[in-house]
Structures are given as structure tokens and as C-alpha cells.
């Protein structure tokens, strides 16, 4: 690109990645009509080539089983962060700027689990830092909890099901959620909160095996041996302000559970 300095070129590339581009444009155009004249490889020959080719260990491995082994081997939260950053089976990692692990006090009694990072979270490397995160902070401040509190009794610990941003903020696929759920289960085990709040359908699917957040919200459930309160995602509340009244009722339920 003539006339672009380094910073402008980088910004243009980042914009294309945000739009979901996964391949660079080739130096020379490809005539797809000419490719149609190529003779297909006979099935027998193709099978022989496949049989003699060296197997790809990443492709051959079971991604979920690999995640289980990596998560189980992590003795601390920092080790779990490193294991997640090293996990190469989830394609979302290739388009993300950062592995978004957590924010807040790890010893907090309440752990909040969201869905996936957005653009601002991907850039900052922290969950819930955009408009939805600002609303979330105000919501929990109303019941005396904060991600910046040094006191575990009044602190909040935050993470997501997915540590990497999906292109164009699409919903994570069932396969992507399945890959990362073992890491999330280990995260909960190591943080050992008294209770969990899940926001949105992706988090409900990972912990409860169910979706339909507007039906599930406000009703206590259980996952991994801990009480779970499903709540509408703050981004949903920004789009539907009338739902904030129900969210306040859910917060009061959480506060009551913490004070028992």
C-alpha cells in the first residue's frame, strides 16, 4: 500500500482481522476456471498417499481430551493461564490479540463467568472492560461487590467461557465451547468460589448444559458442586433496558445467598 506508514498499515490489517478475514490476498490472481481442468486424483492413489504421509499430531489428537489433560495438570491459576495460552486446537486463538484469562480477586467468594471477549476485551487482555463491563461493575457495586476490592468478602472474580474473541463477535460454536470447558471447570476448582453467576447462553451451556437465558435467569442451579445463578448478559441489558428490573432482583438473590 503506497502512502501508508507502518502504523496505518497495521491499523488497516487489524480492521480486516476484526471483519473476520483469515487469508491474505495472493500476489497473483487465481483463475478458478482453469483449476477445473485439473485431473482428479484416483481414490486408490489418494488413499495410498494418505497412508504413507506422516500424521499431523495436532489434527489427530482429540481436542477435548487434550484440554482435559492440560487443565488437570495445572496446579495453580497461573499455570492454568499458561496452559490455556499454549493450547493450539481452538482456531479462535489464531485471530485473537490476547488470551483473556480473568480479572478481579481470585479469592473472591463470587465468581462471574461471561461468554467471550469482545473487541475491547481482546485489545486489553481483560474481561468486561467495554460498555457492558462498565454496566456490570455498576450492577455489582450496588450490592457491595467490586473487582478492584482487595477484600475477598467484597471482591468479584471474573472470567469467560472463551478466552479468545470470536470473529465479528459471533457466538462461539458448540465445538469451541466443548474444547474450553475443561479449562473452565479447572478454573472454578482452583478459584473455589462460594457461588457462581453465569451471564448469557454460552455460559449457561458450558456449566448447565442448557440455554434459554430468559427462562433460566433468576433460578438457582448447580454446577461442579457449587450454586449457580444465571443472569442476562449486561450487553443484553444495554439493548433491553426494561430487563434491568429483573436483573436487580437476581442481584438481590445473589446478595442474600452471600449473607446467609
Q: Is the pLDDT of residue 215 over 80?
A: yes
Q: Which residue has the higher pLDDT, 213 or 46?
A: 213
Average pLDDT over residues 214-236: 97
Average pLDDT over residues 235-244: 96
Residue 195 — φ and ψ, nearest 5°?
A: -150, 165
**Which CATH architecture group holds 60-258?**
3-Layer(aba) Sandwich (3.40)
CA-to-CA distance for 103 and 159, rounded, in angstroms? Answer: 7
pLDDT value, residue 114: 97
Is residue 217 classed as helix, strand or coil in its secondary structure? coil
pLDDT value, residue 167: 93
Q: Which of 240, 161, 169 has its CA nearest to residue 199?
A: 161
pLDDT band at 38 (very low <50, low <70, confident <90, very high): very low
Between vectors from CA 236 to CA 169 and to CA 198, what angle results, nearest 5°?
85
Residue 222 β-bridge partners:
227
Q: Is the pLDDT of residue 5 over 80?
A: no
How many C-beta neighbours within 10 Å does residue 99 have? 17
User: Is residue 58 a contact partner of residue 76, using CB atoms and an 8 Å limit?
Assistant: no
pLDDT value, residue 15: 62
Q: Which residue has the higher pLDDT, 10 or 234?
A: 234
pLDDT value, residue 203: 97
Q: Which of 210, 208, 230 has its CA nearest to residue 219?
A: 230
Give the pLDDT confidence of 84-132 residue by residue, as tens digits: 999 999 999 999 999 999 999 999 999 999 999 999 999 999 999 999 9
Alpha-carbon distance values, 22 to 19, 91, 93, 95, 204 (Å) = 9, 10, 12, 8, 29
Helices 174-191 and 63-72 cross at an angle (nearest 10°) of 10
Give the pLDDT confidence of 42-69 residue by residue, as tens digits: 555 455 445 455 555 555 679 999 999 9
CA-to-CA distance for 98 and 92, rounded, in angstroms? Answer: 11
In eight-state DSSP terms, residue 152 is: G
Q: Is the pLDDT of residue 10 over 70?
A: no
Helical segments of 114-233, H only: 119-124, 131-141, 174-191, 201-208, 213-216
Q: Which of 67, 81, 80 has its CA nearest to residue 182?
A: 67
Q: Using DSSP, how many helices (H) and how many strands (E) does the chain show? A: 14, 6
Q: Positive or negative CA dihedral for 229, 230, 236, 237? A: negative
Q: Is the pLDDT of residue 33 over 80?
A: no
Instruction: Look up residue 83 and give its three cell numbers.
Output: 496452559
Buried b (16+ CB within 10 A) or exposed e, 141-158: eebebbbebeeeebbbbb
pLDDT value, residue 61: 78
Amino acid at each position: 500500500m503506497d502512502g501508508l506508514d507502518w502504523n496505518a498499515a497495521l491499523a488497516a490489517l487489524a480492521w480486516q482481522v476484526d471483519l473476520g478475514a483469515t487469508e491474505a490476498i495472493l500476489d497473483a490472481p487465481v483463475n478458478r476456471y482453469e483449476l477445473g481442468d485439473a485431473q482428479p486424483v484416483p481414490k486408490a492413489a489418494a488413499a495410498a498417499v494418505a497412508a504413507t504421509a506422516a500424521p499431523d499430531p495436532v489434527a489427530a489428537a482429540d481436542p477435548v481430551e487434550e484440554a482435559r489433560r492440560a487443565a488437570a495438570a495445572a496446579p495453580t491459576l497461573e499455570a492454568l493461564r499458561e496452559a490455556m495460552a499454549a493450547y493450539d486446537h481452538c482456531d479462535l486463538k489464531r485471530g485473537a490479540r490476547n488470551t483473556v484469562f480473568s480479572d478481579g480477586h481470585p479469592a473472591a467468594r463470587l465468581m462471574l463467568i461471561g461468554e467471550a471477549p469482545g473487541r475491547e476485551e481482546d485489545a486489553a487482555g481483560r474481561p468486561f472492560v467495554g460498555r457492558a463491563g462498565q454496566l456490570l461493575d455498576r450492577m455489582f457495586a450496588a450490592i457491595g461487590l467490586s473487582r478492584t476490592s482487595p477484600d475477598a468478602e467484597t471482591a468479584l472474580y471474573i472470567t469467560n467461557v472463551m478466552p479468545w474473541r470470536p470473529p465479528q463477535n459471533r457466538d462461539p460454536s458448540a465445538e469451541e465451547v466443548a474444547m474450553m470447558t475443561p479449562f473452565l471447570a479447572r478454573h472454578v476448582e482452583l478459584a473455589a468460589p462460594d457461588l457462581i453467576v453465569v451471564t448469557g447462553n454460552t455460559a449457561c451451556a458450558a456449566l448447565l448444559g442448557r440455554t434459554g437465558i430468559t427462562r433460566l435467569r433468576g433460578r438457582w442451579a448447580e454446577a461442579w458442586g457449587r450454586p449457580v445463578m444465571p443472569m442476562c448478559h449486561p450487553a443484553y441489558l444495554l439493548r433491553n433496558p426494561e430487563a434491568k428490573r429483573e436483573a436487580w432482583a437476581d442481584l438481590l438473590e445473589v446478595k442474600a445467598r452471600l449473607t446467609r
